[in-house]
Copies of this chain bind each other. A is one copy, B any other.
Amino acid sequence: MEYSVSVRMNEHLFLRDPESTDLGRRIVQQGIVVFDELGFEDTTFRKLADRLGTKEASIYRYFENKHRLLVYLVAWYWQWLNYQVIFQTNNLTDPHEKLERVLRVLLLHDLSQAANGDIDIQTLHGIVIREASKAYLTHHVTDDNRQQLFKPYKDLCGRIAGIIQEYRPNYPFARSRASSLIETAHYQAFFMQHLPSLTDFGGQQDDTDLLAFLRHLLFSSLDGGALA
């Protein structure tokens, strides 16, 4: 069973394609490790270069700056996740069951073994939870958007919104419902770990309760009654 995805990434996401060379792949792989260990703010290309036994200048040949590296990693994650959603819902007919699978994919349930080459999905998931919103919460979001940097995220939202429409054709907020589902899954996971009093599942390792919350929130909004 080979899950390896080799989707082509948008050219604006890098200066030189990191998938094309050994150093490039190591930058991405160790980039994930360094972001995870130091956090986005404290990460520098210098530190990453030291860890790779190379020089800053070499990394700059692949990515304009660390923000672009983050955007690349996050985009890669969304593309991978979109693929997982396709894979897990393809053979299903019941939209309810499809949404159930989407929920599990978002929490990376049963996907840890879906290893992909040298990318550590679990660690990348953690980075997405803590750092992904910094990819778009910038002053230059409009320029970045014009360069299609967020297309993978939009594609994933679009796909989930499509399933929502299948499940309930008259629901008028499919896109917002999809994006809020993804976002809610992530910061609730963050709160659960770091600011537990903002959740009802404080300090748990297991995300069974988080899944229950998301499931109830999703289906009650779709099954529920009166819409303005």
Contact = CB atoms under 8 A, between A and B. Distances in A.
A130 interface: yes
Interface residues of A, number: 55
Given A172-B200, A195-B150, A199-B176, A137 B228 contact: no
B139 A42 contact: yes
A117 interface: no
Contact of A137 (B131, B157, B177): B131
A188 interface: yes
A148 to B, nearest CB: 12
Nearest to A129: B137
A137 B130 contact: yes
Interface in A86-144: 130-131, 133-134, 136-139, 141-142
Contacts of A217: 173, 177, 180, 217, 221
A198 interface: yes
Contacts of A141: 194-195
Interface string A181-199: 0011001101100110111
Contact of A154 (B134, B142, B194, B195): B195
B199 A188 contact: no
Contacts of A173: 200, 213, 216-217
Given A137-B130, A139-B41, A194-B136, A200 B228 contact: no
A199 B217 CA distance: 18
20 contacts: A38-B139, A42-B139, A133-B187, A136-B195, A137-B190, A142-B194, A145-B195, A154-B197, A173-B200, A175-B198, A175-B200, A176-B200, A179-B187, A180-B217, A183-B187, A212-B228, A219-B224, A220-B221, A220-B224, A221-B221
